[in-house]
Chains A and B, each alone.
Chain A
Amino acid sequence: MSIVSVRGLHKRFGDLEVLKGVDLDIEQGEVVVIIGPSGSGKSTLLRCLNFLEYPDEGEVWLRGRQVDPAADDLDKVREHIGMVFQHFNLFPHMNVLHNVTVAPVNVKGMERKDANAIARDLLDKVGLADKEKEFPSRLSGGQKQRVAIARALAMDPDIMMFDEATSALDPELVGEVLGVIQDLAEGGMTMVLVTHEMGFAREVADRVIMMDDGYIIEEAAPAELFEHPAEERTQRFLSQVF
């Protein structure tokens, strides 16, 4: 059973059709990387999976159940999908520990003591055990993004989505965030990443998906897609990036 399945997904913003019929399945433990030029619909696809955007047409299935945005409690749906944003979006009025515990305590109703224990464990995993009392404004971009990853993991999600998680970072800080994502991949976390880090995509991905103009135009194992892209558009895109 797939963790996430998408069938015939369409999304329009006014006159602009951003997704023009996307089908996708993501299996348990799989790491899927989505590449493609900007405006190709990569981020919108992610945002439709947790209903930060509502698809105009098509089906989204999570763990074998179709999500009905009109009838289902989307808050419950989102609990199980971790998301990491390009601009971190940490809560600036809360310290690091509180950023990580606020959802488990207030959404899951977890005891603060238990939430703190989980949060400290996760902060240790992302290498920020000593920063739990700091406020986000005192952290570097790479540290902020690692806190954001810990925050999403604290809800114990079925899948983690990364929306250009390293695009806003200074080059020397990219590595520490990619390292954390790599650890997660090795730990068996199901993940879907939108990224421009092609070298990393090649290393970490089980499958690479190339999007352009609202369509998935090609998908393959990373070695194959990067070495022998079948589509002309993929070749052109890769030659521009490398």
Chain B
Amino acid sequence: MPALIEIGTEYAAPFAEATLVTLRLTAVSLVLAVVIGLVIALFKLSRNRVLNLIANAYIGVIRGLPLIVQLMFLYFGIVQIVRLSSFWAGSLALAVHAGAYVAEIFRGSIQSIDHGQTEAARSLGMSKAKTYRLIVLPQAFRRAIPPLGNQFIIGLKDSSLVAYLGVQELFGAALSAQAENFQPFETYLVAGMYYLVLVLIFSVLVNRLERGLSKGKREAAPA
């Protein structure tokens, strides 16, 4: 126990800095993942066979490979073509990975919107694009929040693997620290507590958001 406190205080500064890197990494990758996920979900729902094929191939490959393999593959692959910092290479790889899962979340939530909504919008003269933008997507986003929150928590934890690209995020900082102090058990325990606190804070935020949106009771009651 004293060793834990000692490590906690000794590495407070580098761990705090590393926490910020973890948060930046997570934020950047998840924002990109939402964009990728929305595009792939729309591809998958499109009537265009080629777009369907692209979406299915993307989701199939990404879901079928371990994240660490994708990270290494993308890192060494991308870095050969363009010069990227390991932070950005890691962010991109995490985004490409989470994007596949976010795509399936969006596809499900879009499909869950009653077809009567689309018919009503089209009957008023709205184009397909306007129907999506004004009627279907706003409702689908709302329904996607609980599973998206879940995916974001997974993304936060997955960002630890980017340490193997040399990024000094939380897990990377722990790797370095334990190599220095020869107390891996205590050091990883401290790092674990950092992750746990981050996830708990995030869960509370997602819950608040969910409650805030359902307070207006804006979702349609089942007919």
Contacts and interface: CB of A to CB of B under 8 A. Distances in A.
Contacts of A85: 116, 119-120, 123
A50 interface: yes
Interface in B198-223: 216-221, 223
A235 B116 CA distance: 34
29 contacts: A50-B123, A52-B122, A75-B122, A75-B125, A76-B125, A78-B123, A78-B125, A79-B125, A83-B123, A85-B120, A85-B123, A87-B223, A90-B120, A91-B120, A91-B135, A92-B139, A92-B220, A93-B138, A93-B142, A102-B124, A107-B126, A107-B130, A135-B218, A137-B219, A137-B221, A148-B120, A151-B120, A152-B123, A155-B124
B150 to A, nearest CB: 22
B85 interface: no
Contacts of A239: none
A138 B218 CA distance: 9
Interface string B95-126: 00000000000000000001011011111111
A240 interface: no
B46 interface: no
A26 to B, nearest CB: 17
Contacts of B220: 90, 92, 136-137
A78 B139 contact: no
Given A106-B134, A136-B220, A137-B218, A151 B124 contact: yes
A189 interface: no
A89 B118 CA distance: 9
A232 B139 CA distance: 49
Contact of A87 (B116, B126, B139): B116
A168 interface: yes
A81 interface: yes
Given A75-B125, A87-B223, A155-B124, A52 B119 contact: yes
Nearest to B130: A106
A237 B30 CA distance: 60
A137 B221 CA distance: 6
A168 B222 CA distance: 13
B127 interface: yes
A152 B124 contact: yes
B125 A91 contact: no
Given A103-B124, A137-B218, 20 more contacts: A52-B119, A52-B122, A78-B122, A85-B116, A87-B116, A89-B114, A90-B120, A91-B135, A92-B218, A92-B219, A93-B219, A106-B126, A135-B216, A135-B217, A135-B218, A137-B217, A137-B219, A151-B124, A155-B125, A168-B223
